[in-house]
Structure 1
Amino acid sequence: MFKRTLIAASLTVAALASAQAMAVTGGGASLPAALYKGSANSILPANFSYAVTGSGIGKSAFLTNNAAQFSTTGTVHFAASDSILSATELSTYNTNFGGSYGPLIQLPSVATSVAIPYKKAGNTTLNLTSAQLCDALSGAKTTWGQLLGTADTTAIRVVYRSTSSGTTEILSRHLNSVCPTKFAVNTTFTNARLPAGSALPSNWVGVANTADVATAVNAVDGSIGYVGPDGVNAASNAVVARINGVQPTSANVNTALASAPLPTNPALPAQWSPVVANPASGYAMAAYTNFIFGQCYKDAAVAADVKAFLTQHYSTPGNAVATAAHGFIPVPTNWKNAVTANFITNTTGNNLNINNASVCNAVGRPL
């Protein structure tokens, strides 16, 4: 009896320890998922969970505090999204939860490209203009010969994201700026491609996660897709296409995003996710993938853990080595300094920092 009681007590302690070890719940974007969790050099702390659901579900789970969307229970403490919070999403959140949970914070996590992997026999130097990319991904051109002005009759097979995806939003934002009659800005490919909801060619293939794209492209000759830089060699033209003559290297992504200004009103989450839809120089499809946190947490331990992670991530060098190893680019130093001053140390005096006493008194994301 004593032994069974001791075993039961030990299991209870282990269960409690496990629950406490995974105290900060989050999830979302698949594009940076391996950087965040699951790899030897992932950057999220051990007690942060991360459910890979795609940006759309990630935002929804956080904005409605619905942990079931991450296949768990309790409070959703953060999300990651390549898709920017819309004005409607922000307004709805503020109406429904702003008064009880406090403000939310949207921050650029790392800079990324949307690379265009391809497999075409006899072609290892594919270079497409943005207009040609529009033609291929919209279905306006159905063979590689039509697309490139050759006699090649190989069908173009597009591998697209079948779920709500921030990667799709980044892609479609650029295509919309170049060919607005063929693409709208949307997180869902079938809605981004116009007319929205129209039938796709029968040989096109939808995959759920960014990790599946390159594999599906490589499976069939004539395929082309779009994916984040983690998992493909974005520096190799034999693997991913140049767009307008430019390879999606770190230097070219930095060049594209260099014109993005710092926020002039730090209290507005939208200003912390700058958009450069069609940069004048650098790689065409460059953007930031984002973190979404609450400013206020009723659990002081969660607030401390969130603040500690932000302090590490936005320090210099911070997580720069791991970020580069996964094909991403650290946020520029001036942006890091601005995040630190506003959301960690409050040296700006804007009272935007995590669990600021004057803002978060009696409000916060639930225990």
Structure 2
Amino acid sequence: MFKRTLIAASLTVAALASAQAMAVTGGGASLPAALYKGSANSILPANFSYAVTGSGVGKSAFLTNNAAQFSTTGTVHFAASDSILSATELSTYTTNFGASYGPLIQLPSVATSVAIPYKKSGQTALNLTSAQLCDALSGTKTTWGALLGTADTTAIRVVYRSTSSGTTEILSRHLNSICPTKFAVNSTFTNARLPAGSALPSTWVGVANTADVATAVNAVDGSIGYVGPDGVNATSNAVVARVNGVQPTNANVTLALSTAPVPSAPANPAGWAPVVPNPASGYPIVAYTNFIFGQCYKDAAVATAVRNFLTTHYSNPGNNVATVAHSFTPVPNNWKTAVTANFITNTSGNNLDINNANACNGIGRPL
């Protein structure tokens, strides 16, 4: 009896320890998921959970504090999204939770490209213009010959994201800047491709997650898709197309985003997610994938864990080695300095830092 009681007590303690160890609940974007959690060099701490749901669900779970969307219970402490928080989402959150939870914080995590994997016999160095990409992904051109000006009758088979995806939003933002009659900016491919909601060709294939794209492209000759750089060898022109002659390397991503200035109004979350839909140089399909945190947490341990992670991530070199190993590009040092000054140390004096005593007096995301 004593032994059974001791075992039961030990299991209870272990369960409590496990629950305490996984103190910070989050999830969202699949594009950077392997960087965040599940790999030997992932950057989220051991006490952070990360549910891979896609950007749309990630934003929704955080904005409504609905942990069920991450298949768990309790408070949602953070989300990750390649899809930028819209003005409506920010306004609704402020109306519903601003007084009780405090402000939210949207921060650039890492810079990313959207790579264009392909499989086409006879093609080992595919180079498409942005206009050709519009034609292929909209269905305006249905064969590779029509797209490339050859006699090739192989059908173009598009592999697209079937769920709400920040990767789709980044891609559609670029395509909208090139061919606005064919694409709107939207996180859902069937709504981004115009007319919204129109039927797709029966040979096109929708997949739920980033990890499924390259596999689906490689399965059938004539396929083309779009994916984050961690889902494919983005530096190899044999498997990933150049766009306007440019390969999605880290150097070309950095060049494309180099014109984005540090926000002049730090309290506005929208300013921390710069939009460069058609950069003048570098790789053309780029953006930052973002973190979304609360400024205020009623659980002091959660606030400390969040602050500690942000301190590490926005230091120099911080998580740069892992970021580059996963084919992403680190946030520039001047942005890291600005994030640290505003949201970690408050050396800016803007009172935007995590659990600031003035801003978070008696309020915060629930225990």
1:73 alignment partner AA: T
The alignment status of 1:52 with 2:43, answered yes or no, reads no
SS in 1 for 2:266: coil
> Once the 2 structures are TM-superposed, how far is the Cα of residue 35 of structure 1 from its aligned partner?
0.2
Distance in 2 (CA, whole Å) between partners of 1:253 and 1:321 is: 16
The alignment status of 1:217 with 2:217, answered yes or no, reads yes
Aligned position for 1:129: 129
Instruction: Find runs of 4+ consecutive structure 1 residues off by over 6 angstroms.
Output: none
Unaligned runs of 5+ in 2: none
SS in 2 for 1:359: coil
SS in 1 for 2:108: strand
Figure out how many residues of one structure are paired with residues of the other and give that number: 367
Q: Deviations along 1:114-153, whole A, 9 cap, x unmatched?
A: 0000000000110000000000000000000000000000
> Once the 2 structures are TM-superposed, how far is the Cα of residue 231 of structure 1 from its aligned partner?
2.5
1:163-312 mapped onto 2 (5 Å cutoff)? 163-312=163-312
Q: Deviations along 1:233-273, whole A, 9 cap, x unmatched?
A: 11110010000000001111111000001101000000001
Q: Deviations along 1:283-314, whole A, 9 cap, x unmatched?
A: 00011000000000000000000000000000
What is the TM-score when the length of structure 1 is the normalising length?
Answer: 1.00
Distance in 2 (CA, whole Å) between partners of 1:337 and 1:96 is: 31
> Once the 2 structures are TM-superposed, how far is the Cα of residue 8 of structure 1 from its aligned partner?
1.1
Distance in 1 (CA, whole Å) between partners of 2:313 and 2:41 is: 13
SS in 1 for 2:39: coil
Aligned position for 2:63: 63
1:56 alignment partner AA: G
2:220 alignment partner AA: V
Distance in 2 (CA, whole Å) between partners of 1:343 and 1:234 is: 33
Root mean square deviation of aligned Cα: 0.4
1:2 alignment partner AA: F
2:43 alignment partner AA: I
1:160 alignment partner AA: Y
> Once the 2 structures are TM-superposed, how far is the Cα of residue 354 of structure 1 from its aligned partner?
0.2
Aligned position for 1:142: 142
Distance in 1 (CA, whole Å) between partners of 2:206 and 2:32 is: 19
Q: Deviations along 1:74-99, whole A, 9 cap, x unmatched?
A: 00000000000000000000000011
Distance in 2 (CA, whole Å) between partners of 1:311 and 1:63 is: 24
> Once the 2 structures are TM-superposed, how far is the Cα of residue 7 of structure 1 from its aligned partner?
1.2
Distance in 2 (CA, whole Å) between partners of 1:332 and 1:21 is: 32
Distance in 2 (CA, whole Å) between partners of 1:158 and 1:204 is: 5
SS in 1 for 2:56: helix
SS in 2 for 1:93: helix
SS in 2 for 1:357: coil
Distance in 2 (CA, whole Å) between partners of 1:185 and 1:286 is: 14
Distance in 1 (CA, whole Å) between partners of 2:69 and 2:154 is: 41
